Amino acid sequence: MRQIDVHKLADEARFNRFHGLVLLWCALIIIFDGYDLAVAGIALPSIMKAMGVNPTSAGFMVSSALFGMMFGAIFLGTVADRIGRRRAIAICILLFSVFTAVAGFTSDPVLFSITRFLAGLGIGGVMPNVVAQMTEYSPRKLRGTLVTLMFSGYSVGGMLAALLGKGLIESYGWQSVFIAAGLPVLLVPLVLKSLPESMPYLIRTGQTARLQAIAARLEPAYQPQAGDSFSLPADDKAGSAPIRKLFQDGRGFSTLMFWVAFFMCLFMVYALSSWLAKLMAGAGYSLGSALTFVLVLNFGAMIGAIGGGWLADRLPIKYVLIGMYGLAAVSITLLGYPMPTGALFVTVGLAGASTIGTQIVTYAYAGQFYPMAVRATGIGWASGVGRSGAILAPIVIGALVGMALPLQQNFLAIAIPAVIAMIAVGLIDHRRAASADEGAAAAARAVPAGAPAATKA
């Protein structure tokens, strides 16, 4: 009889077709998710005109999805550890696809806000689940790169919304970009069939045959045997209260610091997304439409996420994040000062890399910090708490803009959260991270010849 350690199996596997399939599905889901989130901002001027709403009402309509994301990240991130991650991801796709499409058929601001709130549940809920899924199945040496590469699909979705939005809205009206967002619902059966289930969930529910099939695809050198059983390290057993486990084993203070970092980073992301074009236009810059800013910001985010993930696989991810938050503080502050157009593009790109890109790397760090069995719960709560920063940002910066402060002070207000996040990440106790525990335990675990990640009993 062999005892198979699924942590070790995933950590030491070589990248293969199975990993590529998980990456493909998770990245595709995130692209759809990014499109759904960005589409409201792209269509907002047309919506305001069509529905006859003022900027205050329009701001509430946009924020309704952010409220939904906050609750979705917490609830659907936590419930995934109980009902299975694959099923939770499918529910999220149904929510954000169906209700974003339904929003395209509304003509009333209140109904639009309700449908966007319901779509936001799915948009927010899918993020912690796909991060947990990619983290769980990634080889240890490539984990940061694969998670951030997957999450760069978020920026691809934002750019897709920006590129398609103008043409669709001019030809078919604002409703078209929302109705188009319903297409991913057709992929739900394929997701349920092709995406592997979470291994801790399969262990808890005693689905040994499915575990053997996944293990053989994850590590082809593993040959299933009739007596095989699968286990998790003690820290990875969620028990009956996964939320409580976020504060056990010395992780409580670090969990709070993750929440602070998520709050501050999402504050910066949504402050820039909401007010960058308006602030720069007020400063006298003529760079064309806000579409250019969206593209540059998201392109920078994609480069920052992939570059940050690459660095995180070669340097301690904690210190990579500290450096990225420092870059955010500097680049956002510089946006408040006059500079040539070319330099402005570069600075906006750096701001995207160090805000949206840094948020993606922060997700990756949270995924590595928490034990496998409560990973979606940990990421979900951090993301959910962080969403309050996203909701607050447009309101706070809007109030500052209304006070007619100098441009430098507006951007300084957006940059200060980067300093706070940098301090919060610095205070995270990496010794309590699941990834640190795995690394310390790796040297002590021997693997018999011909039996990957298994010990004979």
What are the tens digits of pLDDT across the range 87-100?
Answer: 999 999 999 999 99
Please report whether residue 455 resides in a domain.
no
283-303: average pLDDT: 71
Q: Considering the domain boundaries, does residue 388 fall inside one?
A: yes
pLDDT digits (tens, 9 = 90+) for 319-375: 999 999 999 999 999 988 888 878 888 999 999 999 988 988 898 888 888 887 677
Using the structure block, give the residue that is written with the tokens 């922060």: 362
Which residues sit opposite 231 in a β-bridge?
5
Whether 358 and 265 have beta carbons less than 8 Å apart is answered as yes
Lowest mean pLDDT among 43-52, 229-238, 437-446: 437-446
- Asked if the model's pLDDT at residue 277 lies above 80, the reply is no
- Average pLDDT for 1-15: 78
Q: Indicate the range of 174-188, 236-250, 391-405 predicted with least confidence.
A: 236-250
* pLDDT at residue 452, rounded to an integer: 42
CB 89 within 8 A of CB 32: no
Q: Is residue 456 part of a domain?
A: no
pTM of the model: 0.72
Read off the pLDDT band of 445 (50, 70, 90).
Answer: very low
In a domain, 54, yes or no: yes
pLDDT surpassing 60 at residue 239: no
Task: Give the count of domains, the chain.
Answer: 1
Q: Which domain holds residue 435?
A: 2-202+240-440
- Asked if residue 451 belongs to a domain, the reply is no
3-class secondary structure per residue, the chain = CEEEEHHHHHHHCCCCHHHHHHHHHHHHHHHHHHHHHHHHHHHHHHHHHHHCCCHHHHHHHHHHHHHHHHHHHHHHHHHHHHHCHHHHHHHHHHHHHHHHHHHCCCCCHHHHHHHHHHHHHHHHHHHHHHHHHHHHHCCHHHHHHHHHHHHCHHHHHHHHHHHHHHHHHHHHCCHHHHHHHHHHHHHHHHHHHHCCCCHHHHHHCCCHHHHHHHHHHHCCCCCCCCCCEEECCHHHCCCCCHHHHCCCCCCHHHHHHHHHHHHHHHHHHHHHHHHHHHHHHHCCCCCCCHHHHHHHHHHHHHHHHHHHHHHHCCCCHHHHHHHHHHHHHHHHHHCCCCCCHHHHHHHHHHHHHHHHHHHHHHHHHHHHHCCHHHHHHHHHHHHHHHHHHHHHHHHHHHHHHHCCCCHHHHHHHHHHHHHHHHHHHHHCCHHHCHHHHHHHHHCCCCCCCCCCCEEEC
The tokens describing 274, both together, are 């909401």
pLDDT tens digit sequence for 101-111: 999 999 889 99
In Å, the largest CA–CA distance within the chain is: 73
The pLDDT of residue 264: 96
Position 219 in a domain: no
Provide the mean pLDDT of the chain. Answer: 81
Highest mean pLDDT among 65-69, 105-109, 233-237, 268-272: 105-109
Measured CA to CA, the distance from residue 247 to residue 370 in angstroms comes to: 10
Residue 444 has pLDDT above 50, yes or no: no
Sorting pLDDT into bands at 50, 70 and 90, what band is 289? Answer: low
Domain annotation covers residue 165: yes
CATH number for the domain that contains residue 37: 1.20.1250.20
In a domain, 447, yes or no: no
In this prediction, residue 414 carries a pLDDT of 93
Residue 268 has pLDDT above 90, yes or no: yes
- Beta strand pairing call for 2-5 and 454-456: antiparallel
Q: Which residue type does 427 have?
A: L
- Range of weakest confidence among 91-95, 201-205, 260-264: 201-205
Of 71 and 439, the one with more pLDDT: 71
CA separation for the pair 450, 431 (Å, rounded): 32
Would the pLDDT of 457 be above 80?
A: no
